[in-house]
């Protein structure tokens, strides 16, 4: 099994040299709401599925949805970053997941996430990095006061990427 190949829109991305795989949203036509996490983990990248159901975050999400009475087929699930960002390599093997940088999030937003979310009415960020990006918060400040709250926000604009 191999990681999914990234599209040409990823060329020039700050994560292009170390990000692995390509994980687009699952069920992009889900119309109830859209959940957006930080980025895929290792199992998500291997299976090219955001919040892969056998990975711990995917299992947790499925439990939340089950308890809320929401079918996963009714929602769209993806991430701010669409490739796995390993935290480190042990004997050459990538492992862990690191938080994306602002420049990586901006690139992926312009190339993938922003166009995917345009026109979505209910976007639910899952976790602090996704909340900070979608809410337009300072990355050095906390987002805790926004977690679990309902807010009307303007999504960040989609711009054009320029290669460094």
CATH number of the domain that 79 lies in?
Answer: 3.40.470.10
Task: Specify burial of residue 157 (Cβ count, 10 A radius: 0-12, 13-18, 19+).
Answer: exposed
Q: What mean pLDDT is predicted for residues 90-114?
A: 92
pLDDT band of residue 36 (cuts 50, 70, 90) is very high
Q: Please give the structure tokens belonging to residue 136.
A: 């337009």
Its domain, for residue 120, covers 19-146
* DSSP output for 28-54: TT--SEEEEES---HHHHHHT-TT-TT
Residue 3, domain member (yes or no): no
Residue 113, domain member (yes or no): yes
Distance from C-alpha of 4 to C-alpha of 7, rounded to nearest angstrom: 9
Residue 124, domain member (yes or no): yes
Per the structure, the count of domains in the chain is 1
Residue 1, domain member (yes or no): no
Residue 4, domain member (yes or no): no
Of the chain, the end-to-end C-alpha distance in Å amounts to 32
Handedness of CA 64, 136, 145, 55 (dihedral sign): positive
pLDDT band of residue 143 (cuts 50, 70, 90) is confident
Beta-carbon neighbour count of residue 39 at 10 Å? 28
Provide the mean pLDDT of the chain. Answer: 90
Longest dimension (CA), the chain: 46
Residue 111, domain member (yes or no): yes
């Amino acid at each position: 099994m191999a990681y999914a190949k990234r599209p040409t829109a990823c060329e020039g991305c700050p994560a292009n040299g170390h990000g692995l795989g390509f994980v687009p949203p699952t069920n992009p036509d889900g119309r109830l709401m859209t959940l957006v996490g930080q980025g895929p983990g290792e199992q998500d990248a291997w299976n090219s599925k955001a919040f892969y159901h056998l990975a711990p975050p995917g299992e947790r999400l499925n439990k939340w949805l089950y308890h809320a009475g929401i079918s996963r087929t009714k929602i769209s699930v993806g991430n701010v970053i669409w490739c796995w960002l390993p935290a480190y390599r042990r004997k050459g093997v990538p492992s862990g997941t690191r938080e994306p940088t602002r420049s990586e999030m901006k690139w992926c937003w312009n190339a993938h996430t922003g166009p995917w979310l345009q026109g979505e009415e209910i976007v639910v960020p899952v976790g602090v990095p996704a909340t900070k990006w979608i809410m337009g918060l300072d990355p050095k400040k906390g987002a805790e006061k926004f977690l679990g709250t309902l807010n009307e926000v303007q999504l960040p604009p989609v711009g054009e990427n320029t290669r460094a």
